[in-house]
Chain A
Amino acid sequence: MLGWIREAFLFTSSNSPLRKLDPRIRVLLTIELFTLSALPNVFVMAAIPLAIVLMLGLIGNVFSKLLKAMIFAGIFSIIIGAIDFYVNTDPIRAIGVSVRFLGIIGSFSIFFLTTSPDELGSVMKRFRFPRDIIFAFLTAMRFVPVLLLDISQIIDAQRSRGLEIQKGNIVGRVNKLFPLVVPMVSLVLERSNHLAEAMESRAYGSVKQVSAFKELRFRPVDRIFLAISTPLMVLAFYFVLKF
């Protein structure tokens, strides 16, 4: 499962056409898809943004990874749909809610699969986020694969000492999380400390304005994409809001 999370949501360098776009365009696309996914209650309308997400996944060469995100989210979407059906007793609406959730997850998955932490940092800097906020957010993103590996190693070590997480009643299983959680927290604190020392040794915070190796600039391909996608998005919003 940890491997699936890693594959479905974490950036890996790839030859994706979406990567050629300015990251600000990708942020805009994600916001549009998220909004489009969150609005509709009707199943058919909720399927439109999901279809756009899947199409982008195909165009962007990240379809197989996007599919993993969809399957992972599918488990939760079924639960959400079931709860909605229990409350509202409307199966069509329940399916619509599930599809909405999938669309939301898919829109973020596309973004994180095709946007490197550096690109995201450039966008946040352009939107004048405070430098410390940018650094904290990107560090958290960058350390996700590291922490996933750590969790995996801790689980292996504890299982090699006879820990059987699946056995026992609910209380027993919760207690069995203790040998996993404590080392994890300890490791995270240790890593944070090491990172702080490393960044201080590299003069982090000594200057207010830091230059960037790459500056964001709109290119013709970005303008062409905006020209094509904007009317299509307007049309999509029209249909979703109208129905």
Chain B
Amino acid sequence: MISFQSVGFVFQNGTRGLNDVTLEIGEGITAIIGANGAGKTTLIKHMNGLLVPKRGNVFVNGQNTKDATIAQLSRMVGILFQNSERQLFSDTVGDEISYGLRNFGFRDDQVEAKVDEVLSIFDLSDYRDKSPLTLSGGEKKLVCLAVVLAWEPDFLVLDEPTIGQDRINKERIESLVRFLASKRKGIIIISHDVEFLWNLQPRVIAMSNGSILADGKASHIFSNKRIIHKTRIVMPQLLELSTLLETVSNPFSSRDQAVNYLTGLMNKSS
């Protein structure tokens, strides 16, 4: 469990990053949405101790982040940052993945096994001995995801994971998120890709100006026009279509019925 208790944070230049945030995140999929500068990245940086609250406390599995090192917290909370490919430095993809594992004290045999495992999950086994710096943008992103997944943190935080990814890789990431959720991991996703989020039907936390604007099911949050406006996202297409259908005579008795029917239709066609 990641627990924020009345957390306030102000940057050095006086900008308010977080404003009295209280929330709990457990296992399952949680999406965090918000306009640029809403405080999403500031929030996730508090989860592994990169930032420490000026007011209030953050607990990760009962451990106060003020009393733990970043390394200790990162063992529990793995973060894939938005520009994660900038961290790549090793000679080979295999070395890159093993770097974090060695920092966390895994034995050599464990390191080898974990590297093989994550490379096969992402279909990157052929890239094991290649330089990560020579890969394409999308491939680099997958390597970075493999890097974080390797040490099996309890929580996986993904900051804009679908940027620069083609349809196949997006589906791969989606499958992985579902798989991890089924293993009772906590997945936290920051994304503006509403279609990607809609498919996952996560718990959605909407942020604005460093505060929690709303917290609820995807269907409720994404259909709320005030939240859509404040977080500057677009409504998922299925939801928008069913909303439009409400304005004309349509065979559905409710929006939910329309959404369910159309979703079923989309799933059949794919």
* B252 at the A interface (CB under 8 A): no
* A158 at the B interface (CB under 8 A): yes
Q: Could you list some 23 contacts between A and B, CB below 8 A? A: A3-B12, A150-B86, A154-B86, A156-B50, A157-B81, A157-B84, A157-B86, A157-B87, A159-B70, A159-B71, A159-B74, A160-B70, A160-B81, A162-B104, A163-B71, A163-B103, A164-B69, A164-B71, A164-B103, A179-B89, A182-B89, A183-B88, A186-B133
Contact with A along B84-102 (1 / 0, CB 8 A): 1011110000000001100
What's the tally of chain A residues with a CB closer than 8 Å to chain B?
Answer: 20
Chain A residues with CB under 8 Å of B50's CB are 156, 159-160
What's the tally of chain B residues with a CB closer than 8 Å to chain A?
Answer: 25
* B45 at the A interface (CB under 8 A): yes
Contact of A160 among B13, B79, B86 (CB under 8 A): B79
* A153 at the B interface (CB under 8 A): yes
**Are the C-beta atoms of A160 and B103 separated by less than 8 Å?**
no
**Are the C-beta atoms of A183 and B71 separated by less than 8 Å?**
no
* A242 at the B interface (CB under 8 A): no
* B83 at the A interface (CB under 8 A): yes
Write the nearest CB–CB distance from A157 to chain B, whole angstroms: 4
Q: When A and B form their complex, which 4 residue pairs have the shortest distance between CB atoms, in order from nearest?
A: A162-B103, A157-B87, A182-B89, A161-B100
Contact of A154 among B71, B87, B103 (CB under 8 A): B87
* A178 at the B interface (CB under 8 A): yes
Name B72's closest neighbour in chain A (CB-CB). A162
Write the nearest CB–CB distance from A178 to chain B, whole angstroms: 7
**Are the C-beta atoms of A161 and B147 separated by less than 8 Å?**
yes
* A7 at the B interface (CB under 8 A): yes
**Are the C-beta atoms of A162 and B86 separated by less than 8 Å?**
no
User: Cα distance A163–B81 when bound, in Å?
Assistant: 16
Write the nearest CB–CB distance from A165 to chain B, whole angstroms: 10
**Are the C-beta atoms of A187 and B74 separated by less than 8 Å?**
no
User: Cα distance A159–B49 when bound, in Å?
Assistant: 10
**Are the C-beta atoms of A179 and B99 separated by less than 8 Å?**
yes
Contact A156 to B74, CB < 8 A, known contacts A161-B87, A164-B69, A179-B99: no
User: Cα distance A162–B73 when bound, in Å?
Assistant: 9
**Are the C-beta atoms of B71 and A162 separated by less than 8 Å?**
yes
Chain A residues with CB under 8 Å of B103's CB are 161-164
B169-228 contacts to A, CB under 8 A, are: none
Chain A residues with CB under 8 Å of B99's CB are 161, 179
Write the nearest CB–CB distance from B18 to chain A, whole angstroms: 17
User: Cα distance A186–B140 when bound, in Å?
Assistant: 14
Name B133's closest neighbour in chain A (CB-CB). A186
Contact A160 to B74, CB < 8 A, known contacts A7-B13, A153-B83: yes
Write the nearest CB–CB distance from A146 to chain B, whole angstroms: 12
Chain B residues with CB under 8 Å of A163's CB are 71, 103
Contact A183 to B100, CB < 8 A, known contacts A153-B83, A160-B70, A161-B74: no
Write the nearest CB–CB distance from A186 to chain B, whole angstroms: 6
B45-59 contacts to A, CB under 8 A, are: 45, 48, 50
* B39 at the A interface (CB under 8 A): no
Write the nearest CB–CB distance from A10 to chain B, whole angstroms: 12
